[in-house]
Amino acid sequence: MTAQLMDKSVHSELRVPHSAIALRGVTKEFGTGDTKTVALADINIDLPYGELVLLVGPSGCGKTTLISVVAGLLDATRGEVEVLGENLTRMGNGRKVRFRGDNIGFVFQQYNLLPALTAAENACVPLLIAGWDRKKAVAKAKELLAAVGLKDRLNSYPNQLSGGQQQRVAIARALVHEPRLLVCDEPTAALDAHSGRTVMDLIRKVAVQPDRAVVVVTHDSRVYDFGDRIVSMADGRVESVQRTEDRAQETEGRVPH
């Protein structure tokens, strides 16, 4: 299947639409008049489920803006944004917050763990946001922490963990509520090469699921080979979308259709 060929008649009723993310003519401008800067200029892109998409490009090229728009944190100035079959452009603010909480997992460059909570408690926060009972949420979080290999650091506080460990906790947190879209912002930037690779490896192994889209923003070329698809950006435009064939095959094998 090819994401580029996805037609626009995607309906939200479809359980698994062909395209997880579909942007049409998305433009984002900051400021007005003389100070107006164009962060995104007429972006048209379709990204499929079940792939790890790397969003690369130099600093200031608009990748953070693009990911913010995709995650529903920023509104596009013009254009249509469709994520997981929902049109975010026409979505109200309150619904958008709920949509984020229910469907999107976040991994941040600085991990953004709550220093007052243990690893397990941190990992269960999205479930708490969703209204889960605390005990159940912690139990679920522990499962995920085990999956990211932190079974023996469940009750450690973030300041007792290394950067890589913290980022793994963050990944567990991002996935605990089983989101259909995982957004990672420079997950390896604050880590050494080894930890970066471990984290990326983890994202590939744990996060990439057939019905989940994963978008990783990075300018760390060392991790390019983890992506199924690499979207290069420059000056607010998408320069190229490349498929890494060897990865694609592996992915192809796992996707049922």
Partner 1 sequence: MNWVALKMLMGDKAKYLGIVFGVSFAALLMAQQSAIFCGLMRNTTSQIRDIQGADLWVMDRNVQFVDDTKPLSENALYRVRGVEGVQWAVRLYKGLARARLDDGNFQQVILIGVDDATLTGAPAVEQGKLLHGKLEDLRRPDAVIMDEFGWRYLYGAEPFAPGKTIEMNDKRAVVVGLAKCNPTFQTFPILYCTYTQAVKYVPQERKTLTFVLAKAADGVTPEQLCERIEQQTGDLRALTDEQFFWTTIGYYLKRTGIPINFGITVALGFFVGCAIAGQTFYLFTIENLKQFGSLKAMGVSNPRLVRMIMLQALVVGTIGYGLGVGGAALFGYVFERVVTNAPPAFHFPWQVLALTAGAVCVIITASAAVSLRRVLFLEPAVVFR
Site size for partner 1 (CB under 8 A): 32
Taking a C-beta distance cutoff of 8 angstroms, is the pair 220, 189 a contact?
A: yes
User: Which residue, 50 or 158, has its beta carbon nearer to partner 1?
Assistant: 158
Asked whether position 136 contacts partner 1 by CB under 8 A, the answer is no
Asked whether position 163 contacts partner 1 by CB under 8 A, the answer is no
DSSP string, 124-141: THHHHHTT--HHHHHHHH
**Alpha-carbon distance 210 to 24, whole Å?**
24
DSSP string, 102-118: HHEEEE-TT----TTS-
Contact residue for partner 1 among 108, 147, 209, 219 (CB under 8 A): 108
Asked whether position 74 contacts partner 1 by CB under 8 A, the answer is yes
The least CB distance from residue 256 to partner 1, in Å, is 29
Asked whether position 92 contacts partner 1 by CB under 8 A, the answer is no
Could you give the C-alpha distances from 31 to 81, 237, 252, in angstroms and in order? 21, 19, 43
Asked whether position 33 contacts partner 1 by CB under 8 A, the answer is no
Give the pairing type, strands 213-217 and 181-185: parallel
Contact residue for partner 1 among 102, 178, 211, 235 (CB under 8 A): 102
Asked whether position 94 contacts partner 1 by CB under 8 A, the answer is yes
The least CB distance from residue 184 to partner 1, in Å, is 10
Stretch of residues binding partner 1 (CB under 8 A), selected from 29-37, 41-49, 91-99, 218-226: 91-99
Stretch of residues binding partner 1 (CB under 8 A), selected from 8-16, 53-61, 68-76, 143-151: 68-76
Written as six digits, the tokens of 119 are 């690893």
Could you give the C-alpha distances from 119 to 66, 105, 128, 157, 192, in angstroms and in order? 30, 17, 14, 6, 21
**Alpha-carbon distance 97 to 215, whole Å?**
19
Stretch of residues binding partner 1 (CB under 8 A), selected from 12-20, 123-131, 143-151, 235-243: 123-131
Asked whether position 121 contacts partner 1 by CB under 8 A, the answer is yes
Asked whether position 125 contacts partner 1 by CB under 8 A, the answer is yes
The least CB distance from residue 254 to partner 1, in Å, is 28
Give the length of the chain.
257
Taking a C-beta distance cutoff of 8 angstroms, is the pair 171, 148 a contact?
A: yes
Give residue 20's identity as a one-letter amino acid code: A
Residues in the site for partner 1, rule: CB under 8 A?
64, 67-68, 71, 73-74, 94, 97-102, 104, 106, 108-110, 112, 114-117, 121, 125-126, 128-130, 134, 185, 217
